Amino acid sequence: MRKVMGSRYVFVSLMLVLALMLGACTSNGGNGAAESASPGASAEPTASASAAPAEDDGLYSIEDFNKVKINEGTALKGGSVTYGLVSDTPFEGTLNFNFYSSNPDAMVLQWFDEGLLTWDANYVYTNDGAATYEVSEDGRTFTFTIRDNVNWQDGQPVTAEDWLFAHEIIGHKDYDGPRYDSNFTNIEGMQEYHDGKAKTISGIKVLGDKQLQITYIQSTPSLLTGGVWTYPLAKHIFGDMDVAKISSSKEVREKPIGFGPFKVKSIVPGESVVFEKNADYWRGEPALDEVMLKVINPTTVVQQLESGGVDLVDSFPVDQYPDNAGMSNVEFLGMIDRAYTYIGFKLGTWDKEAKVVKPNDKAKMGDVNLRKAMWQAVDNDAVGKKFYHGLRWNATTLIPPSHPEFHDSTNKGVTYDPEAAKKLLDDAGYKLNGEFRTNPDGSELVINFISMTGGDIAEPLARYYVQSWAAIGLNVNLEMVEFNSFYDRVGSNGDDDPAVDVYQAAWQVGIDVDPAGLYGKDAIYNFPRFETEENSRLLAEGVSEKAFDVSVRQGIYKEWQQYMVDQVPVFPTLYRSELVPVNKRIMNYAIGDGTGIYLHQLAVSQDKPFVAEK
Output the smallest distance, CB 611 to other proteins, in A. 11
Spatial contact of 513 and 403, defined as CB atoms under 8 Å apart? yes
Q: In what order do the strands lie in the sheet with 141-146?
A: 131-135, 141-146, 211-215, 204-208
Output the smallest distance, CB 173 to other proteins, in A. 8
Three-state SS for 171-192 is CCCCCCCCCCCHHHHCECCHHH
Output the smallest distance, CB 88 to other proteins, in A. 5
Output the smallest distance, CB 186 to other proteins, in A. 10
Question: Interaction with other proteins in 427-486: which residues (CB under 8 A)?
Answer: 482-485
Output the smallest distance, CB 596 to other proteins, in A. 27
Q: In this structure, what are the phi and psi dihedrals at residue 198, rounded to the nearest 5 degrees?
A: -135, 150
Among 203, 99, 529, residue whose Cα is nearest residue 356: 529
Spatial contact of 169 and 175, defined as CB atoms under 8 Å apart? yes
- Per-residue x/- marks for other proteins, 295-324, CB under 8 A? xxx-xx--xx-xx-x---------------
Nearer Cβ to other proteins (91/345): 91
**437 pairs with which residues across the strands?**
432
| Close Cβ partners of 53 (under 8 Å, ≥ 6 residues apart) | 60, 64
> Per rule CB under 8 A, is residue 402 in the interface with other proteins?
no
Round to whole Å and give the CA distance between 30 and 300: 7
Output the smallest distance, CB 504 to other proteins, in A. 15
Three-state SS for 462-511 is HHHHHHHHHHCCCEEEEEEECHHHHHHHHCCCCCCCCCCCEEEEEEECCC
CA torsion through residues 565, 567, 573, 579, sign:
negative
- Per-residue x/- marks for other proteins, 58-97, CB under 8 A? ------------------------------xxx-xxx---
Nearer Cβ to other proteins (180/387): 180
Output the smallest distance, CB 296 to other proteins, in A. 6
Question: Interaction with other proteins in 351-380: which residues (CB under 8 A)?
Answer: 355
Angle between helices 550-567 and 533-542 (to 10 degrees): 160
Q: Residue 144 — left, alpha, or beta (φ > 0 → left; ψ -120 to 50 → alpha)?
A: beta
Three-state SS for 88-154 is CCCCCCCCCCCCCCCHHHHHHHHHHCCCCCCECCCCCECCCCCEEEEECCCCCEEEEEECCCCECCC
Candidate ranges 7-15, 229-237, 321-329, 592-600; the one touching other proteins (CB under 8 A): 7-15
Nearer Cβ to other proteins (233/472): 233
Q: Which class for 406: exposed (0-12), middle (13-18), buried (19 or more C-beta within 10 A)?
A: buried
Q: Which value, in Å, is the radius of gyration of the alpha carbons in the chain?
A: 25
Nearer Cβ to other proteins (420/480): 480
Q: In this structure, what are the phi and psi dihedrals at residue 512, rounded to the nearest 5 degrees?
A: -85, 140
Nearer Cβ to other proteins (297/315): 297
Nearer Cβ to other proteins (144/184): 184
Cα-based distances in Å from 493 to 214, 344, 349, 569: 33, 17, 11, 20
Question: Interaction with other proteins in 210-249: which residues (CB under 8 A)?
Answer: 247-248
Q: In this structure, what are the phi and psi dihedrals at residue 315, rounded to the nearest 5 degrees?
A: -160, 165
Question: Interaction with other proteins in 92-131: which residues (CB under 8 A)?
Answer: 92-94, 99, 101-102
Output the smallest distance, CB 176 to other proteins, in A. 6
Cα-based distances in Å from 139 to 111, 212, 224: 33, 16, 10
Output the smallest distance, CB 267 to other proteins, in A. 9
Nearer Cβ to other proteins (114/512): 512
60: Cα separation from own chain's centroid: 22
Candidate ranges 53-61, 365-373, 381-389, 487-495; the one touching other proteins (CB under 8 A): 487-495
Nearer Cβ to other proteins (176/192): 176
Output the smallest distance, CB 16 to other proteins, in A. 11
Question: Interaction with other proteins in 568-587: which residues (CB under 8 A)?
Answer: none
Spatial contact of 282 and 598, defined as CB atoms under 8 Å apart? no
Among 108, 105, 103, residue whose Cα is nearest residue 92: 105
Question: Interaction with other proteins in 18-37: which residues (CB under 8 A)?
Answer: 18, 21-22, 25-26, 28-29, 32-33, 36-37
Candidate ranges 271-279, 334-342, 399-407, 559-567; the one touching other proteins (CB under 8 A): 271-279
Output the smallest distance, CB 181 to other proteins, in A. 4
Nearer Cβ to other proteins (206/292): 292
> Per rule CB under 8 A, is residue 269 in the interface with other proteins?
yes
Q: What is the dihedral of CA 324, 328, 331, 332, to 10 degrees?
A: 10
Nearer Cβ to other proteins (12/391): 12
**Which of 52, 160, 273, 424 lies at the binding interface for other proteins (CB under 8 A)?**
273
Output the smallest distance, CB 242 to other proteins, in A. 13
Nearer Cβ to other proteins (92/379): 92
Spatial contact of 160 and 206, defined as CB atoms under 8 Å apart? yes
Output the smallest distance, CB 563 to other proteins, in A. 19
Question: Interaction with other proteins in 34-53: which residues (CB under 8 A)?
Answer: 36-37
Output the smallest distance, CB 429 to other proteins, in A. 36
- Per-residue x/- marks for other proteins, 517-556, CB under 8 A? xx----xxx-------------------------------
Among 607, 601, 604, residue whose Cα is nearest residue 286: 601
Q: What is the DSSP letter of 320?
A: G
Among 344, 296, 313, 314, residue whose Cα is nearest residue 571: 344
Output the smallest distance, CB 32 to other proteins, in A. 5
- Number of residues near other proteins (by CB under 8 A): 76
> Per rule CB under 8 A, is residue 9 in the interface with other proteins?
yes
- Per-residue x/- marks for other proteins, 161-200, CB under 8 A? ---------------xxx-xxxx-x---------------
Nearer Cβ to other proteins (303/573): 303
